[in-house]
Amino acid sequence: MTTQDTTPSIAEFVASLPHGMGHLNDKMGIELVELSAERVVATMPVAGNTQPYGLLHGGASVVLAESLGSIGAGLHGHPDRAPVGVDINATHHRSATSGTVTGTATAIHLGRTSASYEIVITDERGKRVCTARITCALVPLERVGL
């Protein structure tokens, strides 16, 4: 399993992925800021990720949370195992209507076959918008076709 000493740079990490950050993350404007198995931080614009009333879509927050937790789990399982999400939940605390939100995923369990993260999403004022938790199974690469 990976330690902080072997964590790649953000550019190296994204370049190593079969599909970069993935089309959905690209469309949503998710940008990595900090990267390790223990902590992953990224930003996402509110604009373009809203529901019909102009509020940040709750599903967009969940996409950000799942991306961060999966990235952390992937770093933890590297190079032998890949993350596969098995559970995610989210509580939406307040709305965001403009600016950028920041998601911070913090590891709460880094095991041999699973990894769990708490993800806190805040607005530009530092106010909590959403709290999510994800658990990923860490499966052998050949089981996910890699």
pTM, two decimal places? 0.93
CB 32 within 8 A of CB 43: no
What average pLDDT does the chain have? Answer: 93
Q: In what order do the strands lie in the sheet with 114-122?
A: 31-35, 39-45, 100-110, 114-122, 128-140, 81-92
Where are the chain's structural domains? 4-144
The reply to whether CATH 3.90.1150.10 applies to domain 4-144 is: no
pLDDT-above-70 percentage for the chain: 96
Q: Annotated catalytic sites, by residue?
A: 66
pLDDT at 31 over 50: yes
Name which of 87, 75, 86, 79 is nearest 146 in CA terms: 79
